[in-house]
Amino acid sequence: MKLSWGLSVALVATTHSVWALSDNTANTANTASLLAFDPATSDILLPTGSMSLANPLLADTHRPDNCPPCFNCLLDAFPCSHFAPCNPYDGRCSCPPGFAGDNCSVPVCGALSDGKDRPQRDSETCKCKDGWSGINCNVCESDHVCDSLVPSGKNGTCYQGGLTVFENFQQCDVTNRKILDTLGPDQPPAITFSCNQQNKTCDFQFWVAEEESFYCHLEECAFGQNVKHDDVETTYKCNKIKCSCIPDRMLCGKDGSVNIDDFLEEEIAGPADFVCTDDNKCVFQEPAMNELIMTMFGDPAIYLNCRSGECVHYTQVPGFVRPPRPDYTLAIILSVVGVFVFLFGLAFAVWYLAKHSGSSGDGYIALPDDEAAKLMAEHIPATLMFKDMRYVVGGKEVLRDVSGLVRPGQVMAIMGASGAGKTSLLDILARRHKSGTVHGNIYINGRTISHSEYKRVVGYVDQEDTLMPTLTVYETILYSALLRLPRDMSYDAKRFRVMETMSELGILGIKDMKIGASGQRSISGGEKRRVSIACELVTSPSILFLDEPTSGLDSYNAYNVVECLVTLARNYNRTVVCTIHQPRSNIFALFDQLILMAKGNLVYSGETRNLNTHLKSLGHPCPEGFNMADYMLDLTMYSGKATKSSSRSTLPTRNVQDEQEEELYGTEPSSSSLSLDNNTGIPGFSTTTSPTFTRAPSIIDDSLQWESELASREQDRPKPNGGLNNNTGARSGLARDTAIGIDHPSSSETSNSSTNGESSLDEGVSDDSRAHLQSLVDGFKRSHILLEVEQAIDFAVQGNQGAEENSTARSIYGNGKAVSTYRRATRWSQFKILADRTLKNIYRDPMLMLSHFVMAIFLGLLCGALFYNVTNDIPGFQNRMGVFFFMCALFGFSCLSILPSFAQERILFVRERANGYYSPLTYFSTKVLFDIVPLRVIPPMLMGLIIYNMVGLVEGWTEFGKFFLVLVLFNLTAAGVCLMIGIICEEVGVANLMSSLVMLFSMLFGGLLLNKESIPDKLSWLQKLSFFNYAFEALLVNEITFLQLIQKEYGLEIDVPGAVILSTFGFNSGAYWKDVQSLGIMGGSFFLLAFIWLQFRVNERR
């Protein structure tokens, strides 16, 4: 029986193997050399004598006609395609991934993860499974398809970086324009490329219309990446290459196509390079192939657009192989030296400016002819009138029915004992913000004007001196002049006015001395007082209000100050109103108008020279030799409490009076004799004749009008119950009361007086004192002087309201026009002036600025030493977090130093704003730009410059700039919140506490102390309020995102992308610009809120 052809071959092979093993020869030739195949007859040829021909099975080597030849790659007639290795045990080809068939020439489809179960392509194209692509479905596209290809079965990653980890696959489209044009749109060329890391080999297949044309095998390959600043280049360099054509395919003998099979087999030898960039653009080069491409298509190489994919475990994803870290030694030295040079240069500049900038310059000031008239330009004299002024605070009537007037060229004094209401009346007349309710009318030239216009024509000198301690006397007054004098007045004219004012006040000799703070050696208290007055006098306002201008001054300087006020009023036709407490007689004689107050009531309002006449009319003439001011205070302060005995008695002595006093008091000898009542111990006059009523000189000489008006007023007013009796001098009571002329009303009269509402005096005083003071008040209400004042006011007001103005009113009470105001410095001029003042304040008190700079430099060096040259691993990541958080905490809490700085200037700002020096916006702008910015921008830059190189943070100018941007924005935001709290909270201690709590709250949600993802959902919104969170995240993202961290575990180096670490801690690797934007919005909001509060809430309220 005849055996089949296949079985015969098997038996022959087996017999031959047994024969070869039994042979004792050293020949170890391959078994295939003993066999031969005749293609013509399809028979297996055996070597002669190789086996016994007696065996019929071995002798029958003829293959039946209907049986195809069996593939055996061990035979030369059955080569493996793609240079696939042949398995010596079964004669089968070991096909590369993506190919199948006996000779590995058939593309497969499906997915690489299917392994040997992948279906062979049965059409022109393959249909790949989801997540896979390529001509033979070798290229992964998503991570989840890789799980089955990693040992753990999970955490598979489709690595598309191009660098070969184990075995990488790439699908490329040929982009050579000439090749595309030659083949046409229906035959797109493509390349599949794969490399094996272990074997150091690569395979290259060229396809036309997804039909393979030729293939190449590359050996002795090296793989790497060339990391550049803005690009990553993946390289494949192979020393050997061999190629082969597939017969009857495009470029390999197909009809109508060239045949390059001989060229591929004989010319292509290597070396070959395959280079790709991170934008998927690749180039394949080999010397002979480059020459062919250049010859046929005019391109120097094959240009490709590739996409790669390799399934690996996520821990096996390679990081960028960064070049060795640059040596930062030179950069560190230069940065440290530069910082110290800056510090010493700054210290020298501060010393030089502080030493040479205090001089005011005593050189000759040449003024144009018209400069002297600048202060009078468009000036309209202002007559101040006020009628029935009342002031109520908390239900208590502080002022009651106060009226008066003062004309241009006059000085009005408001006098009275302590608590009489002098300062309250002065504040109301100056239209200062009061906490109570004000009633009554204030007129300028018979008209009411707006508050803003009124503030521009008045000056106000407060009782307390509030000056900037770092400025000199000259600079303090000069800044007031520059800010408030007419804008069209030259700088030299303003300087001249400053020097002139200092000379008038006697402070020219101390012009270059600093004001000084309490506890420091500086000018005296009296000199500070004169500087405060000079700041207002220098502007020569239309109306000048002064609260106790002579307090703290000796009698000589007090007289000089008042005399200077009188000169200002008369020479410049200005109106001056001041409160004064017990002046000397020669000072008292300088006042033109006088208002005398007693416990909120008006005792006198009129010309000073008529005061004694009025007192005589009431029966209280000033004793000869007495200071009228002292006598008035004694008269209004009489307590009415008689003492039973007095161990002390004082007789008045005759003071030396000048001509002014004689004119004021008169020289007519008194018929009264000086006596001393031992029961009271207060000297008085024992009057023998009743005083006669003498009418004060009339302002408008019209006797009939006065008599008519007086009769009307007498009928309208209730009958006074005490004090004044014009027809008799009979008095009863104590000797002191007799001397001064006080009647003691009965209890019923006192009750009636209270019932009629005539008394607004304190309830704590005795009935005698109340009756005495009420008599003074009622006496003035009945006087012609008050009637004249009220009529003058009504006449001026009615004259302005009428169609035609009376010429007499225009000449006596003003021209009827509203006051004219000159234009002061513009906002820009204010900004420049305040900027100059702020800078002087900084460099003359440089300790705060220098301490910030020294702190930044010292701690920068300390942090640089502690965190020197951080490593790119997990401990290095921890160190980066530590240095960033420390810097944020340091600069956050250092911003608390702004709180006492603004607290010291709060009162100064309130006073200067009330006096119209500048607008709040101008002050706030200069405060932010020239005070906050130098202390909040320069220190982080100094510290960052040192730390960045010493710590070894990520290189690159872009990252360097983004690092500084975040530091400065964070510092400004922290300064903004501290400034806002400092403006809102008047108490420094409260502001410090609130600012510290805000900083701690922001730190808590910063991202280091508390993991973001562990915060409960209901409280997660709180981290959006933390500016620490935005700054800390931005610094980490800028540093870590593109950094590959190497973690060594179990002897393996695991590359961990920085983005993975960031996400583990709850940070968003793409949030840098969002965080910067949030910091900017928060910082801007804090500064805006601070300004709004400064504008509407930080103002003077008395």
- The string of DSSP codes covering 477-511 is HHHHHHHHS-TTS-HHHHHHHHHHHHHHHT-GGGT
Judged against a pLDDT cut of 60, whether residue 869 lies above it is answered with yes
Judged against a pLDDT cut of 60, whether residue 64 lies above it is answered with yes
Query: What's the pLDDT band for 1054 if we cut at 50, 70, 90?
Result: low
Closest CA to 482 of 832, 820, 819: 832
Judged against a pLDDT cut of 90, whether residue 978 lies above it is answered with yes
Structure tokens at 246: 């597939």
| Bigger pLDDT: 28 vs 504 | 504
What is the per-residue pLDDT for 605? 95
Distance from C-alpha of 538 to C-alpha of 1087, rounded to nearest angstrom:
34
Decide: 681 and 650 in contact? Cβ < 8 Å: yes
Site of tokens 């398809």: 145
What is the per-residue pLDDT for 366? 57
3-state secondary structure 930-981: HHHHHHHHHHHHHHHHHHHHHHCCCCCHHHHHHHHHHHHHHHHHHHHHHHHH
Judged against a pLDDT cut of 70, whether residue 238 lies above it is answered with yes
Distances (CA, A) of 915 to 406, 441, 460, 919, 992: 21, 22, 6, 10, 30
What is the per-residue pLDDT for 362? 55
What single letter denotes the amino acid at residue 652?
P
Contacts of 513 (CB under 8 A, 6+ apart): 472, 473, 522, 523
Which range, of 382-386, 755-759, 814-818, 1075-1079, averages the lowest pLDDT?
Answer: 755-759
Helix axes 747-755, 767-781, angle to 10 degrees: 60
Distance from C-alpha of 617 to C-alpha of 636, rounded to nearest angstrom:
16
Judged against a pLDDT cut of 50, whether residue 217 lies above it is answered with yes
Distances (CA, A) of 17 to 7, 47, 90, 170, 355: 15, 13, 14, 44, 111
According to DSSP, the β-strands at 211-227 and 232-245 are antiparallel
Helix axes 933-951, 847-866, angle to 10 degrees: 20
Burial of 847 (0-12, 13-18, 19+ CB in 10 A): exposed
Burial of 157 (0-12, 13-18, 19+ CB in 10 A): buried
According to DSSP, the β-strands at 139-140 and 132-133 are antiparallel
| Bigger pLDDT: 219 vs 824 | 219
Which range, of 75-89, 195-209, 226-240, 787-801, averages the lowest pLDDT?
Answer: 226-240
| Bigger pLDDT: 1071 vs 731 | 1071
Decide: 750 and 770 in contact? Cβ < 8 Å: yes
Helix axes 874-894, 933-951, angle to 10 degrees: 160
User: What's the rounded mean pLDDT across residues 526-536?
Assistant: 88
Closest CA to 608 of 568, 562, 544, 639: 562
Judged against a pLDDT cut of 90, whether residue 505 lies above it is answered with no
What is the per-residue pLDDT for 1035? 94
What is the per-residue pLDDT for 1080? 94
Closest CA to 337 of 326, 347, 329, 349: 329
| Bigger pLDDT: 293 vs 689 | 293
User: What's the rounded mean pLDDT across residues 847-859?
Assistant: 90
Most confident of 22-31, 277-286, 411-420, 553-562: 411-420
Give pLDDT tens digits for 328-348: 677 777 777 777 787 777 777
| Bigger pLDDT: 878 vs 651 | 878
Most confident of 711-725, 877-891, 1032-1046: 877-891
What is the per-residue pLDDT for 922? 94
Handedness of CA 982, 986, 991, 992 (dihedral sign): positive
Phi, psi of 248 (to 5 degrees): 60, 30
| Bigger pLDDT: 353 vs 304 | 304
Judged against a pLDDT cut of 50, whether residue 53 lies above it is answered with no
Q: Whole-number mean pLDDT of the chain?
A: 78
Structure tokens at 485: 């004098």
- The SS3 call for residue 20 is helix
According to DSSP, the β-strands at 575-579 and 411-416 are parallel
What is the per-residue pLDDT for 740? 37
- The SS3 call for residue 169 is strand
Distance from C-alpha of 446 to C-alpha of 794, rounded to nearest angstrom:
8
Distances (CA, A) of 561 to 247, 500, 565, 609: 119, 14, 6, 21
User: What's the rounded mean pLDDT across residues 1010-1020?
Assistant: 83
Most confident of 6-15, 315-324, 717-726: 315-324
| Bigger pLDDT: 531 vs 682 | 531
Alpha-helical (H) ranges within 286-360 are 287-297, 329-356
Helices and strands in the chain: count of H runs, count of E runs:
33, 28
Is it true that the peptide bond before 271 is cis, omega within 30 degrees of 0?
Answer: yes
Decide: 218 and 202 in contact? Cβ < 8 Å: yes
Query: What's the pLDDT band for 31 if we cut at 50, 70, 90?
Result: very low
Site of tokens 């981290």: 1023
3-state secondary structure 508-520: HHHCCCECCCCCC
Give me the residues paired with residue 579 across strands: 414, 547
Judged against a pLDDT cut of 80, whether residue 1102 lies above it is answered with no
What single letter denotes the amino acid at residue 1017?
D
Distance from C-alpha of 402 to C-alpha of 607, rounded to nearest angstrom:
15
Decide: 658 and 586 in contact? Cβ < 8 Å: yes
Decide: 1012 and 1066 in contact? Cβ < 8 Å: yes
Judged against a pLDDT cut of 70, whether residue 675 lies above it is answered with no
Judged against a pLDDT cut of 70, whether residue 365 lies above it is answered with no
Phi, psi of 216 (to 5 degrees): -135, 150
User: What's the rounded mean pLDDT across residues 392-400?
Assistant: 91
What is the per-residue pLDDT for 280? 84
Contacts of 716 (CB under 8 A, 6+ apart): none
Indicate the helix (H) or strand (E) that contains 106. Answer: strand 106-107
Phi, psi of 900 (to 5 degrees): -65, -25
Distance from C-alpha of 343 to C-alpha of 852, rounded to nearest angstrom:
11
